[in-house]
A and B are shown apart, each in its own frame.
Chain A
């Protein structure tokens, strides 16, 4: 079983719509959860982090965490063409290593 699983996509949404991204993880000891955005050929750029169950909002982004279901999601509201990228879910046990999913590619259609 993969440590962190994401739907690879591509996820295509029209401009202004909501993009919904999902991630599941296998290690119940995971404590910290991160969403990074990666443009082609570039490095991961932090979008949001979440540590506690529930929702966390930051501008157009909302992260949701459910530790019982080992599930974390990211909603992108009012999607813009500049949001077209690969979104990486990353998980940490409060030790040194970040475990990444393979990423979900999002395309926002103008």
Chain B
């Protein structure tokens, strides 16, 4: 069964460093998403991406964040200068159409020290 994959599973970084989180969406899906979940809190939408551009972003997704689809399979989230409060689980998701079921990857646990 097709699934979303993410790497790395865990990332520890120092405050102020850049991190890149990687995702491989389900192959025939066209819509890609990033969500985050701070420990003990709800899942929060960060950004959606379609047709090589951002289609919607939340207020969390400020200038320190960027997304890219560098090739035909990968989808990345870059955090330029990490802060302590960026520590969270980051989930990538994909769907075949707008409003369709979004399938989540296993997540990357990011810890900023």
* A interface residues (Cβ-Cβ under 8 A, vs B): 31-32, 34, 36, 42-46, 49, 88, 90, 92-103
Contact = CB atoms under 8 A, between A and B. Distances in A.
A96 B98 contact: yes
A2 B9 CA distance: 31
A97 B98 CA distance: 9
Contact of A46 (B35, B45, B99, B101): B101
A44 B91 contact: yes
Q: Is the interface of A mostly helix, strand, loop or mixed?
A: loop
A75 B53 CA distance: 39
Given A36-B104, A96-B33, A96-B55, 7 more contacts: A44-B104, A88-B42, A94-B98, A94-B99, A96-B56, A98-B93, A100-B43
Given A94-B99, A96-B48, A43 B42 contact: no
B45 A98 contact: yes
